[in-house]
Amino acid sequence: MDNNFLGHHISQQFNVELEDIRTRVLSMGGLVEQQIHDAITALVAADTDLAKNVVKNDVKVNAFEVSIDEECARILARRQPAASDLRLVVAVIKTITDLERIGDEAEKVARMAVELADLERPRTQYHETQSLGEHVQSMLHGALDAFARMDVEAALKVAKEDESVDHEYEGILRQQITHMMEDPRSIKRAMDVIWALRALERIGDHSKNICEYIIYLVKGKDVRHLGLQEMEKEVVEE
């Protein structure tokens, strides 16, 4: 009975550790969401201080990645998890890499916000950039929410959204290139906008990656590089 209790206790403690890394991934995700939000706000409002703050805060995102990574390595070494516990740890290791890269993309948007703050504003007031930004923000939010609830159907829905983000991105990109051709004096500004757009589009890709890890984690099936239809089949199949 003592043994049983001990076994129970160890397993309880292990559960606490797994719960802890999940919580920390969500905290890291919350920080990264805030970074994107601030970077876009800074760009649209020409708020250089806010933009510089985003650049400065990227070290916090990086610190999260390093510390969660260390915790995962410790769990792998000490707990030797199997089956779904193991998949959770592997999925977390991959997820935080994507979150860290999303942080880098937010930083790029913030750097462009600093550049753009000194330039004449376009008539559109960066409306399209903001709109794409909100689109990928909602993708990331959905991905983190699906992660919190281990909800594969929600994950699939978010993954599907990436196509629509790509479509929106390509449309705005074409507009920017047309502007450059019509008014070569706008080239400097258009290029800065294009780098920001590109960073936002990448955030969509990374959010989709996170959704794929959730499906792997819950279903035990690697759905990367599958088409959306096949991915859907994996999710629906019991």
Rule CB under 8 A: say whether 163 interacts with a second copy.
Answer: no
Among 187, 228, 230, 236, binds a second copy (CB under 8 A): 187
Please give the structure tokens belonging to residue 222: 């690697």
Closest CB 187 distance from a second copy, rounded Å: 5
Rule CB under 8 A: say whether 180 interacts with a second copy.
Answer: yes
Q: Is 223 helix (H, G, I), strand (E, B) or coil?
A: coil
Rule CB under 8 A: say whether 119 interacts with a second copy.
Answer: no
Q: Which listed range, 22-30, 46-54, 63-71, 128-136, lies at the site for a second copy (CB under 8 A)? A: 63-71
Spatial contact of 126 and 44, defined as CB atoms under 8 Å apart = yes
Rule CB under 8 A: say whether 10 interacts with a second copy.
Answer: no
23 alpha-carbon distance from chain centroid? 16
Q: Which listed range, 108-116, 126-134, 156-164, 220-228, lies at the site for a second copy (CB under 8 A)? A: 220-228
Rule CB under 8 A: say whether 59 interacts with a second copy.
Answer: yes
Rule CB under 8 A: say whether 65 interacts with a second copy.
Answer: yes
Closest CB 225 distance from a second copy, rounded Å: 4
3-state secondary structure 21-69: HHHHHHHHHHHHHHHHHHHHHHHHHCCHHHHHHHHHHHHHHHHHHHHHH
Angstrom distance (rounded) from CA 199 to CA 171: 15
Among 6, 10, 73, 236, binds a second copy (CB under 8 A): 73
**Count of residues interacting with a second copy (CB under 8 A):** 30
Q: What angle do CA 209, 87, 78 make, to 5 degrees?
A: 130
Rule CB under 8 A: say whether 62 interacts with a second copy.
Answer: yes
Rule CB under 8 A: say whether 191 interacts with a second copy.
Answer: yes
Rule CB under 8 A: say whether 222 interacts with a second copy.
Answer: yes
Q: Which listed range, 15-23, 37-45, 66-74, 130-138, lies at the site for a second copy (CB under 8 A)? A: 66-74
Spatial contact of 51 and 114, defined as CB atoms under 8 Å apart = yes
- Phi and psi at residue 137, to the nearest 5°: -60, -45
Spatial contact of 45 and 114, defined as CB atoms under 8 Å apart = no
Angstrom distance (rounded) from CA 143 to CA 155: 6
Rule CB under 8 A: say whether 171 interacts with a second copy.
Answer: no
Q: Interface residues for a second copy in 84-113 (CB under 8 A)?
A: 86-87, 90, 93-94, 97
**How many residues belong to the chain?**
238
Spatial contact of 48 and 65, defined as CB atoms under 8 Å apart = no
Alpha helices in 118-151 (DSSP H): 127-149
Binding residues vs a second copy (CB under 8 A): 59, 62-63, 65-66, 69-70, 73, 76-77, 80, 82-83, 86-87, 90, 93-94, 97, 177, 180-181, 184, 187-188, 191, 198, 222, 224-225
